[in-house]
Amino acid sequence: MKIGIIGLGRIGKTHLKAIQKIDGLKVIAVSDIDEKQCNQIAEENKIPYSYIDYNKLIANKEVEAIWICSPSKLHYEQVSAALEHKKYVFCEKPLEIEIDKITALLNSFSDIDKRLMIGFNKRFDSEFIEAKKNIAKIGVPTIVKITSRDPAPPTLAYLKTSGGLFKDMTIHDFDMSRFIVEDDVVEVYATGSINYIEGIDGVDIDTAMVTLKFKNGIICTIDNSRQSPYGYDQRLEILGTLGMLQVNNKKVNHNSFYTTQGKQSSVYQNFFLERYADAYEQEARAFLDCVVTKREFPATAYDALKALELAEACKKSLLENRAVRIS
Ligand SMILES: NC(=O)c1ccc[n+]([C@@H]2O[C@H](COP(=O)([O-])OP(=O)(O)OC[C@H]3O[C@@H](n4cnc5c(N)ncnc54)[C@H](O)[C@@H]3O)[C@@H](O)[C@H]2O)c1
């Protein structure tokens, strides 16, 4: 399957590497408004087509599937154009930062679940998959705790187009909670603060704690921080009626040193590029597999909508300092 990638920043380059490992997928076109970087990446990777204008990539008849890795505020127009050109589409999270636009996509393309996959990469992480498979060992789940803390914040330019912490960062964890609990949320409460990033007062927060109450009674907490001095922190804990399950952080290596200073071990894997490298590859494999077997993708526009609804409800909860019911 011949692929075009739009956006060659942090995640676009990562997807390029992941796709290159998969037999059956070949990147033949790239697009970025940074012409120099776009041409350089095309040249280094022997990619025949390089465009500044993404519309040209979408119109290229040889391109069968498009990976959208541009800033979030561009996703809707690029996804719509690609679907109208009958392409298969992989779109990075968040699919959109406005609910109406996702609803418009769902209403416009009846076969969207087999044409558009969303980059909720945590669903493809082997540790989280293993945890989900074994939930029954701890009985009936009662509490789910998700921790997601970045080692360092993104640039202010990135933050300004991101849609805010809940839509940009917590969105992964909203989806994770739905993936693990397999039910709908009926109520949210969110609180947040600014501790690290200057110049975002009144625009965004960099620290948040969210509580989600699911229809089946499970309570989930999500804690997010845009900065974490000890590294990228990605943990999951589930309390059940018969026990507890924990997914801990992956380290650079698993050596332990015992000295007069106590026990020391390696630092955590640096950031998402390292921690989820395998998950990005697995999601590309899942994409190809679903196209070939004509099955629905494992993360769809509907999942993106449900996660965005939670992000909106959390924003409201934060602003109004109260719990918000989800209708
Ligand atoms: N799933 C994940 O783990 C993950 C991680 C990081 C980012 N993301 C998502 O990926 C998207 C991109 O994030 P990033 O961190 O790579 O950002 P980035 O700023 O590093 O890269 C964005 C790239 O898009 C290019 N671009 C801007 N306008 C364009 C246009 N009109 N046409 C083509 N290219 C254009 C920019 O020049 C830049 O190279 C965001 O939606 C973000 O939420 C997902």
Compute the distance from residue 241 Cα to the ligand 1 centre, in Å.
42
71 touches ligand 1 (CB under 6 Å) = yes
Q: Which CATH architecture has domain 2-121+279-299?
A: 3-Layer(aba) Sandwich (3.40)
Residue range 123-275+307-325 in CATH 3.30.360.10:
yes
Model confidence at 161: pLDDT above 90? no
pLDDT in tens, 165-192: 999 999 999 999 999 999 999 999 999 9
- Confidence class of residue 327 from pLDDT cuts 50, 70 and 90? confident
Compute the distance from residue 134 Cα to the ligand 1 centre, in Å.
35
CA distance 150 to 206: 10
pLDDT in tens, 41-64: 999 999 999 999 999 999 999 999
State how far Cα 236 lies from the chain centre: 16
CA distance 12 to 266: 29
Domain ranges of the chain: 2-121+279-299, 123-275+307-325
Compute the distance from residue 80 Cα to the ligand 1 centre, in Å.
17
State how far Cα 171 lies from the chain centre: 7
What is the pLDDT of the chain when averaged over all its residues?
97
Q: Picking from 26-30, 223-227, 267-271, which range would have the lowest pLDDT averaged per residue?
A: 267-271
Q: What is the pLDDT of residue 160?
A: 87
Model confidence at 254: pLDDT above 90? no
Check residue 169 and report its DSSP letter: T
Quick one: tokens of 316?
A: 């409201």
